[in-house]
Amino acid sequence: MDNTKKISEVIEESDNRYVLVHAVAKRAKKIMETTIHSNVEISSNKAIDTAIQEILHKKGKY
């Protein structure tokens, strides 16, 4: 659950948690679209996890 702690920190730093949710959803959708065009299969949960990790590494710059 190490990621949960980091996510909660990003939420606390965020002005609006809904903006964060929207950013994750938008990035996950882009990941899914990219994988469809490259004939790579990925689950929607994996796309969401990847989007969250990318946003965490950018430290809230979404």
- Using CA atoms, how far apart are residues 9 and 59, in angstroms rounded to an integer? 9
**Mean pLDDT along residues 43-61:** 79
Q: How many domains does the chain have?
A: 1
| Cβ pair 13, 5 in contact under 8 A | no
Residue 43, both tokens: 């689950």
pLDDT tens sequence across 12-34: 777 788 888 899 999 999 998 88
Residue 62: inside a domain? no
For residue 34, is it within any domain? yes
Q: What is the pTM of this model?
A: 0.69
pLDDT of residue 51 exceeding 50:
yes
Rounded Cα distance, 35 and 14, in Å:
29
| Average pLDDT score, the chain | 79
Residue 29: domain span: 2-7+14-57
For residue 11, the model assigns a pLDDT of 74
